[in-house]
Amino acid sequence: MMRTTSHASRRWRLVALLLIAALVAVLRPALAQVGVPGRSPLVPNIEPTDAGLLADGPLNEAAAVATALAAFAELPQPAMPPEGALLDLPADASLSAANTVYLPLICRSIDSGNAPPPATPTPVTPTPVTPTPETPTPKPGSSANIAVALRATPSIWVARGALLEYEIRVVNYGDGGAHGIDVTLPYYRGQYTLESTSLNSKKGDWVRQIDSRSFTVRFGPLSADTWRSGRIFLRVNANLPYQTLLNIRAVYNWDGGPHDDRFSNWAPVLVGNGAADAPYIWMAITPDRGLTGTTYRIFSNRFFPEEMISTWLNTPYGVRPLSLRGSADTKGGLTLRYVSSGLVPGNYQIVFYGNRSGLTGVASFIVL
């Protein structure tokens, strides 16, 4: 009799737990804050002005190399990284991807007296990323192909209690338009709060929903071969421990697109006592110096999942195109190996360029 009662009691407890779980599943969406276009926004929004809009979309590879050449010619002295930009963090698995930050040094190195005379930089013609021509009236069966990139400011360290800005750039590489794109970001309320946005409501961009774990930004219609960006501003918790990692990656999908979610690049930022920023994404190189012929291992996990990566070399005497190519893995990670055969002693940089994201990473090394 007691055994029968015990079984019945366990069965009722199981039924009660299932009912509670079902109730939570039903109530959670109802408790989320849902925005309505054209009405009061869920968070304050500042409309972007024409002056605040970027003039160009993502650079293709040829334009990126041209930019590097221009910077190389304009900076005659080595550029010093800002104080605190080179991190020396304790060995920790959760921070292993942020232990070292290499900042760009696109400039002439100081002549050691043993190097050959400077050569005149010649135009570099790498394999360009050919944009898809605009199609005012999409053909039947044409479809959008959306990519979403995140750029943090500051990108390395953010101070406790400070504002952290994320630019969300949405690009349509397809031959058809997208009616709307949903970009969802994590919302760790113990680490930061969503304070405000700068979204173009006239284009149909707004914060669609906020719940306990995430918030969703809705971008309005985006035609073929065009892009648009918006900004969100996060207020970092003033009481966070030093070296707290803000782990930010967006999930996105678009109307009429694939049923599975797509992922942006990973754009984490560390919490510290001040701000440190870099215009390029993080990369690591091992070793960081060696004799001519040394094999260097270069790694980054900040690109788009499965995008193609092009490379070139910034040398003391110009920009050298490389045939080295690779494809990022499903999490945006990539490791390439470069053999420094034929390089004279000096400071060099190897540059990774994401053909789909437009993200650029730079790692420095020294040939002894």
Domain boundary among 218, 244, 272: 272
Rounded CA-CA distance 152/205 in Å is: 19
Quote the number of domains for the chain: 2
Pull the structure tokens for residue 117: 């005379």
Regarding whether 251 and 290 lie in a shared domain, the answer is no
On whether residue 338 sits in a domain, the answer given is: yes
Average of per-residue pLDDT values in the chain = 75
On whether residue 6 sits in a domain, the answer given is: no
DSSP SS3 for 322: strand
Regarding whether 174 and 74 lie in a shared domain, the answer is no
On whether residue 4 sits in a domain, the answer given is: no
| CATH code, domain with 213 | 2.60.40.1530
Rounded CA-CA distance 115/346 in Å is: 8
On whether residue 217 sits in a domain, the answer given is: yes
Q: What is the pLDDT of residues 305-331, one digit of tens each?
A: 999 999 999 988 888 889 999 999 988
Of 60 and 221, the structure prediction assigns the larger pLDDT to 221
Q: Is the pLDDT of residue 229 over 70?
A: yes
Of 319 and 10, the structure prediction assigns the larger pLDDT to 319
Most confident of 70-79, 116-125, 158-167: 158-167
How many other C-beta atoms lie within 10 A of the C-beta of residue 63?
14
| C-beta separation of 312 from 321 below 8 A | yes
Q: Is the pLDDT of residue 302 over 90?
A: yes
Give pTM, 2 decimals.
0.69
| CATH code, domain with 324 | 2.60.40.1930
Regarding whether 120 and 205 lie in a shared domain, the answer is no
Nearest Cα to Cα of residue 218 among 226, 230, 227 = 230
Tell me the residue range of the domain where 317 lies.
Answer: 61-128+279-367
Domain boundary among 224, 245, 272: 272
| C-beta separation of 195 from 162 below 8 A | no
Regarding whether 90 and 142 lie in a shared domain, the answer is no
| C-beta separation of 183 from 18 below 8 A | no
